[in-house]
Amino acid sequence: MSRISADEMRQLLKVYFIMGSNNCKENPLKIAEEAFKAGVTLFQFREKGNGALTGEAKYHFAKELQHLCKQYDVPFIVNDDVELALELDADGVHIGQDDEAAEQVRKKLRDKILGVSAHNLEEAQQAIENGADYIGIGPVFPTSTKEDAKEVQGTSVIRVLKENGITIPIVGIGGITPENAESICEAGSDGVSVITAISHASSPSGRVQMLKQAVERGIANQ
């Protein structure tokens, strides 16, 4: 196996669905399956915050979601928990700036996908040096899903990265909806990562399709 190519990574970032059990008002597996059927390109298991599962329950829930991902050919990324990702033989890991150092995580993951959250040019350059396959930039818009989210930045950081010649695949996060997704991709993002836009939607499949169309319009205008 070798590291994922940038082109392949860009394709996967188009509609990146992130979810944990506490992000759902209805059966999470049902929501995930409906979203996968409609064309989610990448999935992240993020079991965090109030009421999040732990221990065995977390492990079993992750396994169920991973099984669903395999069924629909959606790569399965684990947020933060490198040991769980290795135990499950997940497709990759996403880490923030306060998690285990990216350099260490890259060594443990070998060729698996590594995503790193960055909030400015310096953090992005550091993540690239440490072996990230993509970087997550956020919060682009106000979000109430992440309690410790940093200051809202609009599309400014994405633009700064592009203006400074950063070519690593980029995905925006935070408060993204079908209505604002186009502007994020126009600014240089390769796709959108969302939690509630899909997990709280009355029709997750309809929402995925709308996001996909907005992303394609934005990319066409880059």
Told to judge if 3 belongs to the known catalytic residues of this protein, a careful annotator would answer no
CB of 176 vs ligand 3NM, minimal distance in Å: 6
- For residue 77, the one-letter residue type is I
Pairwise CA distance, residues 154 & 141, whole Å: 6
Active site residue 117: yes
Q: Cβ closer to ligand 3NM: 56 or 148?
A: 148
Which of the residues 147 through 186 are near ligand 3NM (CB under 6 A)? 149-150, 173-176
Shortest distance, position 86 Cβ to ligand 3NM, whole Å: 22
Cβ distance to ligand 3NM smaller for residue 9 or 18? 18
Q: Please report the beta strands in the chain, taking only residues with DSSP state E, as ranges in sequence order.
A: 15-19, 42-45, 76-79, 92-95, 113-118, 134-137, 170-173, 192-194
* Cβ neighbours of residue 122 closer than 8 Å, sequence gap 6 or more: none
Among 41, 183, 196, 205, binds ligand 3NM (CB under 6 A): 196
User: What single letter denotes the amino acid at residue 160?
Assistant: V
CA distances from 208 to 178, 185, 215 (A): 9, 16, 10
Active site residue 146: yes
For ligand 3NM, the closer CB: 74 or 197: 197
Angle 85-152-219 from CA coordinates, rounded to 5°: 70
Q: Which residue, 107 or 150, has its beta carbon nearer to ligand 3NM?
A: 150
List residues near ligand 3NM by CB under 6 A. 18, 117, 138-139, 143, 145-146, 149-150, 173-176, 194-197
